[in-house]
Amino acid sequence: MKLLGLGLLAVCLSAGASEPWYVGADVGIAGNYTQQGGNNGRIYMGYEVVPGQAVEVQLYQFNLRRIENIYGYTYQDTIRAKGGAVAWASAWPLTDKIDLNSRLGVSYTETRVRPQGNGVDQFYTRVGPLASVGASYALTENIKLRSDVSYTQLQTGYHDNLDHTVLSAGLAYKF
């Protein structure tokens, strides 16, 4: 994951100044009635096809704890998910400095589920939807402060899917 992130950064830094590339990183928290959020992070790179419309590639990692109540006993499974996504990203300017952002795409996620106690780790993969909506504030012409809510699905069992939402904040740099 680190090596892919460094490669992504190297490709972006080698791009010419006139090209509409951008990179960014977000960290966030997640949680709902069946999960407790852990460390969630994402790095991304995008290419602006036309002003306000871009194609984006993402790498992400989610850490969370699923809480299940089975016959009066509470179980907590540790879940770690790593994956990548390709998305269409849109930005609609509200003012000179504030934009409304959205992403819609497809994600590939590899999930490791570690049951409470001495259980054996289980691994699952899933191709699923990716969607997010948020806002950004231009600190400078090239640097934006971004915040959004993202949604994707994780497979956590043979027939179990988990709807995972993350509230994140980060920075994006356009060059």
| Mean pLDDT of all residues in 87-111 | 96
Determine the structural domain holding residue 99 and report its residue range.
2-174
Contacts of 152 (CB under 8 A, 6+ apart): 83, 85, 107, 109, 128, 129, 130, 131, 164
CATH number of the CATH domain containing 167: 2.40.160.20
pTM of the model: 0.80
What's the mean pLDDT when you consider all of the chain? 85
Contacts of 148 (CB under 8 A, 6+ apart): 26, 101, 103, 132, 133, 134, 135, 167, 168
pLDDT at 42: 94
Range in 78-87, 129-138, 153-162 the model is least confident about: 153-162
Nearest partner of 147 among 171, 173, 168, 174, judged by Cα: 168
What's the pLDDT tens digit per position in 8-31? 555 545 544 456 999 999 999 876
pLDDT at 31: 67
| Mean pLDDT of all residues in 144-158 | 89
What's the pLDDT tens digit per position in 109-135? 999 988 877 678 889 999 999 999 999
| Residue 141, H or E segment | none
Number of domain units in the chain: 1
